[in-house]
Amino acid sequence: MMAYHFQLYIRFIWILTGILFTGILHSQSKDDAAFYAIWSDTTKPETERIDAYFDRLNDMRVFEGEGKVDDKWFMGSGEAIQLAMELNKKEYLPLFYLASAYNYAIILNDFETGCIEANKVVESAKIANASKFPVFTAYQL
């Protein structure tokens, strides 16, 4: 009986180790340079590029200045919006319009165009039924 419990204990330890190891491997995300290498490589498939752009900007800290994101990401928002429309990735549009609004309002100091883009965040979120994070952040701009 004791040997049976010991075997269960050993199996439990192996399973737990496997779960932790898998979690650690999958939780390590690509860094800014890796995402930008994918995004800026126009020979890559457009879906791969747009996913890299989305994955890099889909972090609340990016828009709070904590994510150490270079302005190049926000300045690429026009191309990202165009690609999202072409690929019918409506769920990406609120975040991409938010990046565009940020680009105009914060980087270029063009508040009028920034407000127009911020309104597009709200409108695209209604259509895409997407995350409320871009809408909330757009209201803060």
pLDDT tens, position by position, 28-83: 456 888 999 999 999 999 999 999 999 988 876 776 665 556 788 889 999 999 99
Do 71 and 112 belong together in one domain? Answer: yes
Residues 117 and 100 sit within 8 Å (Cβ to Cβ): yes
Q: What is the total count of domains within the chain? A: 2
How would you class 52 by CB atoms within 10 Å of its CB: exposed for 0-12, middle for 13-18, buried for 19 or more?
Answer: buried
Do 64 and 41 belong together in one domain? Answer: yes
Token pair, residue 29, equals 């995300």
Do 16 and 44 belong together in one domain? Answer: no
Residues 96 and 84 sit within 8 Å (Cβ to Cβ): yes
Domain hosting 129: range is 31-140
Of residues 53 and 26, more confidence is placed in: 53
Token pair, residue 109, equals 């100091």
Do 38 and 83 belong together in one domain? Answer: yes
pLDDT at residue number 88 = 92
Average pLDDT value for the chain: 77
- Give yes or no for residue 129 having a pLDDT over 50: yes
Do 40 and 62 belong together in one domain? Answer: yes
Do 78 and 117 belong together in one domain? Answer: yes
Residues 55 and 30 sit within 8 Å (Cβ to Cβ): yes
